[in-house]
Structure 1
Amino acid sequence: MLKRFRERYLDLLGSIYLYNEHRGYTAIDRVLDAIRARSPDDHVLIAAVERHRADERKHYDMFRRWFELRGAMPLSVDRTCGHIDRFVEIMFRKRIDDLDTQKVIDDDGQFEKLCRVISLTEQRGFRQVEILLAHPLVRDDKVLMKIFAIIHRDEPSHWAPYDGWLKANGKRDPKWWERAVDTFIHSELLFLKLPALFVNPFVRRRGDWPDAHDAAPVGPNARELALLAE
């Protein structure tokens, strides 16, 4: 019984992370479009966000490899389990896919808001990984521990470019209510959606990988993936 409980929990955890990492790097593509249009000469910012995008893709590849090693496809979870999805929906009152990139390019206030949303999301992700690295159900899975250790190493650099832009342009830090929204989204997933998925016997596995329909697929990071098999 305990083994089945653990396997179900890890299955859901991996599926949610796989979804979020895929959503992360595909959403950053649109952020990069905005930055390149707004500040084409800010090569430092562009390079930092490109590194963020590359890390998100790498993390996605690692979770995909984890499922491949298990011989199973991920469970089918959607945007309701996506932290950045929910944050954007609440702050911009529309889904990520419906976000007007041109408006973000033209409106300083919209870009400023997006930077705060990304920064808070990444900081939340870092704190959650620290919890998972000490989680007894995770610690028994050596591959997952390697994945979360790599994410923990990478994560601090992910919110830095957005905080840096806010500071360099005299923009404010997140207010208490924005942090409260971040906490609400995390609590909603942890205490409502995750338990509901856990006990739902009708949650099916995906028939394909989230990146199957990417416009510009990128090959996996061979070095990091090789570490997972050691």
Structure 2
Amino acid sequence: MTNIIRRFRDRYLDVLASVYIYNEHRGYTSLDRVLLAVRAHCPDNQEFIAQVEKHRADEHKHYHMFKRYFQLRGQMPLRVGRTCGHIDHFIEQIFGCTIDELDTDAIIADPKLFEKLCRVIMLTEQRGMTQVDILLRNKFIKKDKIMMKIFKIIKVDEPSHWLPYHHWLSQNGDVRSTWRERATDFWIHKSLMLAKLPAIFIRRGTARMEFWPDEAEDILFEGTNAN
């Protein structure tokens, strides 16, 4: 492998893993709020609650797999931020606010909003499953044993991340996504693939994280205990 190809591959994997570690962290922390809504909206549906809990646990596991990947590389992830967050943009486009501003009480109280949230999560996870299949055929991924192992694990987990929402919607709501929801998902994906990720790849000045995202959670937890 020539030096140029090696540098290209290393940069590709660096950007890819940085985007994934952001989205996995954003995923499991956001699912904490989803769990609150699910437990309140469906208190008697223990199966659905357990499935969402597993979804959250899997996202947390995936985050730590990518964290370990960077630790083995001896570097921190690139600081990509919400620019590369699929769920960030999806929530903003459909609900008109950021994930952190999402009104959990309103979603619990309004069945239509709860259904909409479930469809957004379902579409996001279906998109993620398709993307993993593509990545497992990527020649750079196939030559990196650790990345192959990570994405094979994610591939096994992915169906259980959208099927629970699909099943619940099929039994209790409207599983059919709206034209706007499908178009938003498509546009976000294309903008990430064709514009935002290539821009990060080319822009060599992108800074790296100074601390791991979950370290901020530890600091917040310690501060809460201190009070």
Give the TM-score range, shorter chain: over 0.9
Contact 2:119 2:175 in 1 (8 A): no
- The residue number in structure 2 matching 1:225 is none
Tell me, which stretches of 5 or more residues in structure 2 are unaligned?
223-227
Does structure 1 residue 93 correspond to structure 2 residue 96? Answer: yes
- The residue number in structure 2 matching 1:69 is 72
Deviation at 1:216, TM superposition (A): 6.1
Alignment of 1:39-188 (within 5 A): 39-188=42-191
* Per-residue deviation, residues 36-81 of structure 1 (Å, max 9, x unmatched): 1122221111000000000000000000000011111000011110
* Per-residue deviation, residues 146-197 of structure 1 (Å, max 9, x unmatched): 0000000000011111111111113241133322211111110000001111
- The residue number in structure 1 matching 2:17 is 14
Does structure 1 residue 208 correspond to structure 2 residue 211? Answer: yes
Which residue identity lines up with residue 161 of structure 2 in the other structure?
H
Alignment TM-score, normalising by the size of structure 1 = 0.91
Q: Distance in 2 between matches of 1:9 and 1:190?
A: 13
Indicate the larger mover: 39-48 or 57-66: 39-48
Count of aligned positions? 217
Indicate the larger mover: 172-181 or 13-22: 172-181
Which residue identity lines up with residue 197 of structure 1 in the other structure?
I
Indicate the larger mover: 174-183 or 72-81: 174-183
Which residue identity lines up with residue 101 of structure 1 in the other structure?
T
Q: Distance in 2 between matches of 1:175 and 1:209?
A: 37
SS in structure 2 at match of 1:97: coil
Change beyond 3 A, Cα 1:189–1:76: same
Alignment TM-score, normalising by the size of structure 2 = 0.93
Q: Distance in 1 between matches of 2:196 and 2:98?
A: 19
Contact 2:84 2:196 in 1 (8 A): yes
Does structure 1 residue 32 correspond to structure 2 residue 45? Answer: no
- The residue number in structure 2 matching 1:220 is none
SS in structure 2 at match of 1:96: coil
Which residue identity lines up with residue 21 of structure 1 in the other structure?
E
Identity of aligned residues (%): 57
Tell me, which stretches of 5 or more residues in structure 1 are unaligned?
218-230
RMSD (CA atoms): 1.3
Which residue identity lines up with residue 87 of structure 1 in the other structure?
F
SS in structure 2 at match of 1:161: helix
